[in-house]
């Protein structure tokens, strides 16, 4: 594996580690994030709206230029919504 790939993976793991610590220290983050994701589901620019509101209403900060970890988090929100929808 190349050094740049390893470096990118290490950076992403560290971001996810910090994120998981925040979620575990404030369990309302997951609930709020899901509420926000439901609110914007189906909007043309849903990810941008979700990221902006999560940043404004929780301790999670998703910068304007998303990292791989940010994209993964937004993707997981959509997956959970898809799973919810499949249950009904």
Q: What is the pLDDT of residues 19-58, one digit of tens each?
A: 889 889 998 999 999 999 999 999 999 999 999 999 999 9
Output 38 or 3, whichever has higher pLDDT: 38
If we measure between CA atoms, which residue out of 40, 43, 44 comes closest to residue 53? 40
Q: What is the pTM of this model?
A: 0.83
pLDDT at residue 36, rounded to an integer: 97
pLDDT of 1 > 70? The answer is: no
Chain centre to alpha carbon of residue 32: 12
Computed over every residue of the chain, the mean pLDDT equals 91
Torsion sign over Cα 31, 56, 43, 12:
negative
Report how far residue 21's alpha carbon sits from residue 65's, in angstroms, rounded to the nearest whole number: 22
């Amino acid at each position: 594996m190349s050094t740049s790939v390893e470096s990118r993976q290490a950076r992403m793991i560290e971001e996810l580690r910090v994120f998981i610590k925040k979620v575990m220290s404030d369990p309302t983050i997951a609930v709020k994030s899901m509420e926000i994701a439901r609110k914007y589901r189906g909007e043309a620019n849903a990810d941008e709206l979700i990221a902006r509101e999560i940043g404004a209403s929780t301790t999670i900060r998703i910068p304007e230029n998303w990292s791989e970890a940010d994209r993964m988090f937004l993707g997981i929100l959509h997956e959970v919504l898809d799973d919810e929808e499949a249950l009904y």
